[in-house]
Chains A and B, each alone.
Chain A
Amino acid sequence: MSAKVEEQVREEHPLEKILRMDRIPHIWCPTCGLGTTVTALSSALEQLQLDTNKVAVVSGIGCTGRVAGYMKLDSFHTTHGRAVPFAVGLHIARPDLKTIVFSGDGDLISIGGNHFIHTARRNVDMTIICVNNFIYAMTGGQVAPTTPLTAKAATTPYGNAEHPFNLPLLAASSGAVYVARWTALHVRRLTVAIKEAIQKPGFSFVEVIAPCSTLYARINKLGTGLDLMKFYHDNSVIRHGADLNDVDIDFQSKIVVGKFVDIEKPTYIDCLNAGNKRAFGDKYKPYGGGNGDN
């Protein structure tokens, strides 16, 4: 091959600016929905025109947990279940950064469940993107606290006999100020939701329903990830502001999606400033850019 041909301009996908291309191709299986969710986050960041030096992505362990490693941003791949407490520390030390947690249902809601509810309660300013594939995918398809009743997993070969969490209800009742759910195929609406969540001061939560082809689809004989993607999308009902008691997900039935919660509430740092101002008056200098007036 002549030097001239080799020098030809390499084709560059528009997301190459924000991805660590030395780590692409990613490890995700064919027809896994995770790559699409990364595009949604990347498009949201691009559309918001945020300074990428001011955005940090934190993940835990799992297939979804790999996301932090693929983003060309300040990112941290924490231990299993500890993405949220790491992000809390990061946010408090560097409130000027936009802190985004991108992790799986098992990581955030099972081992990380207590961190999740208490960080929502304190309304710490961060965005949580939780990819719910209804299973612990990375470790071989064990049942998760999000696995629908009767769905099969590697550890429940006769079908799951437990009720799953309703994640939007859990987030909202714990104190989240922004709650939305979309499927990976709703990629434009998902991008809008991620943008709104990032801009929202306080604890915002976006649940993304995405297919796991290799484990959830295979164990439950649901076809490929494309079949599952199609099923989730075609069985979604858009209901903004839905009563969150009605958004449970049953095995292979309708999925209510939409923006459910979008309210204003003082954040953790606002409350901290207000408390210290009450206690110490003008001697206290508000932290993190707020004025302590809440």
Chain B
Amino acid sequence: MKFWRTPLDIDKLQIPRGELHILKERCKGCGFCVEYCPKGVLELSDEFNSKGYHPPKAVKPEECVNCDLCELLCPDFAIYCVRAEAGEKEVSN
């Protein structure tokens, strides 16, 4: 993680981890989540859903910090993130 100024209590900070859920069939491929994920976790995939859109896929799932921005911006309620327990990390597509 890049810091503008290294926090004084960096050794005590625990960076949260997220577990992403992408509801591919509901996605309209707008790219909001891809564009605004602060960690570059997502990319639009080459795959089509049944409506003909390209849903996103997590290319760097381990980088997700559970900030929920993808979930908040998605206009189609097609992606959400839950906090992953330490050590547990997965993407369900």
Interface residues of A (CB under 8 A from B): 11, 13-16, 19, 24-26, 28-36, 38-40, 43, 185, 187-188, 191, 224-226, 229-230
Is A13 a contact of B80 with CB atoms below 8 Å?
yes
B24 to nearest A CB, angstroms? 10
- Contacts A11-B21, A31-B30, A229-B32 given; indicate if A188 touches B77 (C-beta within 8 A): no
Is B74 a contact of A19 with CB atoms below 8 Å?
no
B91: chain A residues at CB < 8 Å are none
- Which chain B residue lies CB-closest to A229? B32
- Which chain B residue lies CB-closest to A70? B77
Is A25 a contact of B80 with CB atoms below 8 Å?
no
Is A30 a contact of B30 with CB atoms below 8 Å?
yes
- Contacts A11-B92, A24-B26 given; indicate if A32 touches B72 (C-beta within 8 A): no
B80: chain A residues at CB < 8 Å are 13-14
User: Residue B61 at the A interface, CB < 8 A?
Assistant: no
A25: chain B residues at CB < 8 Å are 26, 28, 76
**A31 CA to B32 CA in the complex, in Å?**
8
Is B30 a contact of A188 with CB atoms below 8 Å?
no
User: Residue B23 at the A interface, CB < 8 A?
Assistant: yes
**A41 CA to B80 CA in the complex, in Å?**
17
- Which chain B residue lies CB-closest to A24? B77
A16: chain B residues at CB < 8 Å are 77
Is B74 a contact of A36 with CB atoms below 8 Å?
yes
User: Residue B90 at the A interface, CB < 8 A?
Assistant: no
- Contacts A30-B28, A230-B35 given; indicate if A13 touches B75 (C-beta within 8 A): no
Top 9 closest pairs, chain A to chain B, by CB: A35-B75, A30-B28, A31-B30, A187-B72, A13-B77, A36-B75, A30-B30, A13-B80, A226-B31
Which of B21, B29, B77, B80 has the most chain A CB atoms closer than 10 A to its own CB? B77
Please name 5 further chain A to chain B contacts, defined as beta carbons within 8 Å, in addition to the given A14-B71, A14-B80, A185-B36, sorted by A numbering: A13-B21, A35-B75, A36-B32, A40-B72, A226-B35
The residue that A43 contacts in the complex, of B23, B26, B72, B74, with Cβ under 8 A, is B72
B29: chain A residues at CB < 8 Å are 30
- Which chain A residue lies CB-closest to B75? A35
Which of A30, A31, A32 has the most chain B CB atoms closer than 10 A to its own CB? A30
Is B73 a contact of A36 with CB atoms below 8 Å?
yes
Which of A13, A31, A43, A225 has the most chain B CB atoms closer than 10 A to its own CB? A13
